[in-house]
Amino acid sequence: MKEIKVVVASKNPVKINCTAAAFKKVFPESRILVEGISVPSGVADQPMTDKETLQGAQNRAENASRLVPEAHYWVGIEGGIDEVHQSMEAFAWVYIVSSTRRGKARTASFDLPPQIQQLIHKGIELGVADDMVFKRSNSKQKNGAVGILTKDLINRAEYYEPAVVLALIPFVNQDLY
């Protein structure tokens, strides 16, 4: 059985678990080893545009590749916010690097409630704003805003996992990319 070593550019268990689940789906004949490491994103703690969020995911993946060069894949996942269509949307970018190619994909987006928007406008990170509004602790390492707002119909790991799969498209269709 082929062994694939994947490094997630985060110690967040949600990001590690969703990456492991996605890689196991995409490479079912392989043994997937996933490790999380802390690396800087090079962007604000709360990215406020689509472009900044993508840059954070890319920076994380590339920083992880320099720290653990023996891995096969490096994954950066960055949650962000953008103000579009008179609302504030939350989403995340996934950026995956290997020695030969790159892949990226964005999650679906969803509108944030006005009370959370107000806190974010005051400079408070989404995860902290969620904890304040919903009287929780460390929700970003649990079900996150998406889990809270969907009443756990979609938790944070389930939300990220399809984007990890989509970011792997260039790796499983190498003849096309």
Q: Is 70 annotated as a binding residue?
A: yes
SS (H, E, C) the chain: CEEEEEEECCCCHHHHHHHHHHHHHHCCCEEEEEEECCCCCCCCCCCCCHHHHHHHHHHHHHHHHHHCCCCCEEEEEEEEEEEECCEEEEEEEEEEECCCCEEEEECCCEECCHHHHHHHHCCCCHHHHHHHHHCCCCHHHCCHHHHHHCCCCCCHHHHHHHHHHHHCHHHHCCCCC
Q: Is 57 annotated as a binding residue?
A: no
| Sequence ranges of the binding site for substrate | 70-71
| Sequence ranges of the binding site for Mg(2+) | 70
| Sequence ranges of the binding site | 70-71
